[in-house]
Structure 1
Amino acid sequence: MEPKKASSSKVKFLDTKPKIVEFLESIRDISLTSTPSLYIDIEGIDLSRHGTISILQVYVHPADKTYLLDIHSLQEKASSTPDSRGTTLKKVLESNEFKKVFFDVRNDSDALFAHYGIHLAGIQDLQLMELVTRSYSKKFVTGLGKCIEKDAPITSTEKVDWSLTKERGRRLFAPEYGGKYEVFNNRPLSQDILQYCCQDVEFLPETLEDIR
């Protein structure tokens, strides 16, 4: 398998209802596949029922494209806007027919349900899969960085690039580095934050295959 480096060259930022419709139309036939095609992550401020959602990232594996849905600007319209067949983002997230992969879905699920009444279904949690298939102690779950370092079939150089991108983004939003989570609400997104948002979901398919 040829490892794929996270890149912003195939990224679409969805901040209008027509763009949401175009995205939904583009994934229409993905529900027919038996393997996961949608790899999802969410960024926000205190991401949970107590905070807010800023961006929902979706990597569409068959198309090799990453979509950043601007939840901060669109709010409820992002999940309720239908395509020509009446499919909405809410229906996609709640459908067992659309196979979706998250890494540690707990806070994402809590936020989506609390703010938009979305009951996630058809989910594979990569963090739990790593725990179940692990051959050593299962006392603690592993973070995404450790999983990519251990399981992603990428080169040492790519792992260094991944870590540097992660660090640049973290320094912009993490309070312990003097950052603020509000950077996820800045428009346009800075290049470092855009790359940070993209790379986590873009590396998930390879990590999933290796864990399996």
Structure 2
Amino acid sequence: MDPHGLDIFNPIDVRTLGHKAFRTPGYKSNQALQSVLESPKITKVFFDVRNDSDALFAHFGIKLDGVQDLQLMEFASRGLRKGFLCGLVKCIDKHSPLSPAERREWIKVKDSGRKLFDPSSGGSYAVFDKRPLPTEILLYCIQDVQYLPQLLLVYNQKLSPDWRHRVSRESQQRIKLSQSAGYNGKGRHMALPPAEWSS
């Protein structure tokens, strides 16, 4: 098994494939990725679904459904629901059961990837257009999703059925908002929890 988990992740080159990435039926299931993403019966886990939903809708016409937003789950799982929403890095750092060695590797991969794409670190977003994708970028992207199952388990165990329902409902509201004409995916408002959720 690859220590980075490359053997269990199947990246899809959306930049190269375009709409085909979402509309081509699978070999075994004959189901296209778009139908999976739009199915309310198949649970998909995102961390702050808003900008991903915005991009999928704007570029490919995909209307996400059946989403559990881990950022909302984290906030809902707090004893006192106060403060701002957490980012993924903070959630992984605080709630993912990483050993000291895994934590060091996680930080190393994050830093290596960031240096290649972040303009403030001397990188360029054009690195995402390179083919084959540099290994450092691939690992950076994988790291963003490999800890989601652990976080889902941690947060889900802390939620009552009522709060799970509220998270599902608010996740759908986020998707609806992200597909509206006036959606703005940048700014301080992105760190604010749902107003009615404060303790």
- Structure 2 length as normaliser, TM-score? 0.73
> Bigger shift: 75-84 or 180-189?
75-84
Residue by residue, what CA displacement relative to the aligned partner does 1:105-163 show, whole Å, maximum 9, x if unpaired?
A: 11000010111110001100101100111124533110111101111012122112111
Q: Which runs of 5+ in 1 are unaligned?
A: 11-64
Percent identity between the aligned chains? 48
Matched, 1:134 2:131: no
Distance 1:105 1:5, change over 3 A: farther
Structure 2 counterpart of 1:169, which letter? G
Query: What is the match of residue 12 of structure 2?
Result: 69
Distance 1:107 1:196, change over 3 A: same
- Larger radius of gyration, structure 1 or 2? 2
Report the Cα distance in structure 1 between the residues aligned to 2:150 and 2:89, rounded to whole angstroms: 14
Report the Cα distance in structure 1 between the residues aligned to 2:146 and 2:76, rounded to whole angstroms: 23
Query: What is the match of residue 32 of structure 1?
Result: none
Residue by residue, what CA displacement relative to the aligned partner does 1:141-191 show, whole Å, maximum 9, x if unpaired?
A: 101111011110121221121111111101110111111112111101111
Q: Does the Cα contact within 8 Å between 1:152 and 1:206 map onto a contact in 2?
A: yes
Structure 2 counterpart of 1:78, which letter? A
Partner SS for 2:12? strand
Partner SS for 1:124? strand
How many residues align? The count is 155
Report the Cα distance in structure 2 between the residues aligned to 1:6 and 1:103, rounded to whole angstroms: 23
Aligned 1:188-207 pairs, distance under 5 A: 188-207=132-151
Query: What is the match of residue 108 of structure 1?
Result: 52
Q: Does the Cα contact within 8 Å between 1:80 and 1:89 map onto a contact in 2?
A: yes
Report the Cα distance in structure 2 between the residues aligned to 1:186 and 1:91, rounded to whole angstroms: 29
Shift of 1:5: 9.1
Partner SS for 1:101? strand
Question: Counting helix residues as a fraction of each chain, which structure ranks higher?
Answer: 2
Matched, 1:156 2:156: no
Shift of 1:102: 0.5
- Structure 1 length as normaliser, TM-score? 0.68
Structure 1 counterpart of 2:44, which letter? K
Distance 1:6 1:110, change over 3 A: farther
How large is the RMSD of aligned CA atoms in angstroms? 1.9
Question: Counting strand residues as a fraction of each chain, which structure ranks higher?
Answer: 1
Report the Cα distance in structure 2 between the residues aligned to 1:71 and 1:6, rounded to whole angstroms: 25
